[in-house]
Homo-oligomer: A and B are copies of this chain.
């Protein structure tokens, strides 16, 4: 089996490559070839030496997708995108990378299939940004995609293309709308959602973190570990069970900032909690208020996708996976 990961230099792409390195039977049959692609040359985990190839390319450029697809990978993870803030700041770039890049990939697969029958599995990462306020209290599986950002628009369009190409038998696609990933490893970044991770990760490292919103703010979370679990499950699932609606909102944990902080206190003590400094930022509070806070993910749950059920679990996953099990 030949696995292609596009967006392999990103946080989830790297974790996925590491999981593949740790278990070559991960997707049910032996992985004998891995291609890791991104705009910068992705790292190759030590365990994949000999079977993995790392490629730097821009999917939005002519011929790039064709180069990848000419190798006829059996399983494709398409995680590549520029983030919400950048897609909002640069209209043209957002559409070029997030929409045209995906479409060029889908078209390259179609073109390869016209040459010689070919129908790879394609796992696409979408986002809860396809949803825009006003929301119901819990967003169900039949709620409309009415995004309020260009990023969300681009993801919603890719979902539609994914369904149509899959319906036509051009590939066997599944889209996963990921919750906000928490705890995101690494350093604090400037994303408006960054504080959800910062207020846990930094205190766990003995460092201060800034909380710009009220404790009552509710949001929708899954750990990086849960996200990798979604990818693996999506790669193995019989997609005929999805019917024509090929994108699913992934399960997650709906929790308030206050609940995050309580879990931190339980696992790391009051000393950690005291490292959170409250600095209300009305601009961030306004942005966050327009985000979905809770989902009813019946379809994904019935299909066997699983996420954390409490913030303690989510923090534990971070301690185990990023801090060697100790704080």
> At the interface, yes or no: A269 with Cβ under 8 Å from chain B?
no
**Cβ of A150 and Cβ of B164 under 8 Å apart?**
yes
**Cβ of B142 and Cβ of A144 under 8 Å apart?**
yes
> At the interface, yes or no: A326 with Cβ under 8 Å from chain B?
no
**Cβ of A143 and Cβ of B146 under 8 Å apart?**
no
> At the interface, yes or no: A316 with Cβ under 8 Å from chain B?
no
Residue of B nearest to A100 (CB): B103
**Residues from chain B with Cβ under 8 Å of A63 in the complex:** none
Number of chain copies forming the complex = 2
Min CB distance A89 to B, Å, is 12
For chain A, the count of residues having a C-beta within 8 Å of the partner chain is: 22
**Cβ of B157 and Cβ of A145 under 8 Å apart?**
no
Interface string of A160-187 (1 = CB under 8 A from B): 1101100110000000000000000000
Q: Which residues of A contact B (CB under 8 A)?
A: 91, 110, 132, 142-148, 150, 153, 156-157, 160-161, 163-164, 167-168, 244-245
Residue of B nearest to A243 (CB): B134
- Additional 20 contacts, C-beta under 8 A, given A91-B168, A143-B144, A146-B163: A91-B110, A132-B244, A132-B245, A142-B143, A142-B144, A144-B144, A144-B145, A145-B145, A145-B160, A146-B244, A146-B245, A147-B163, A147-B164, A150-B164, A150-B168, A153-B160, A153-B161, A153-B163, A157-B157, A157-B161
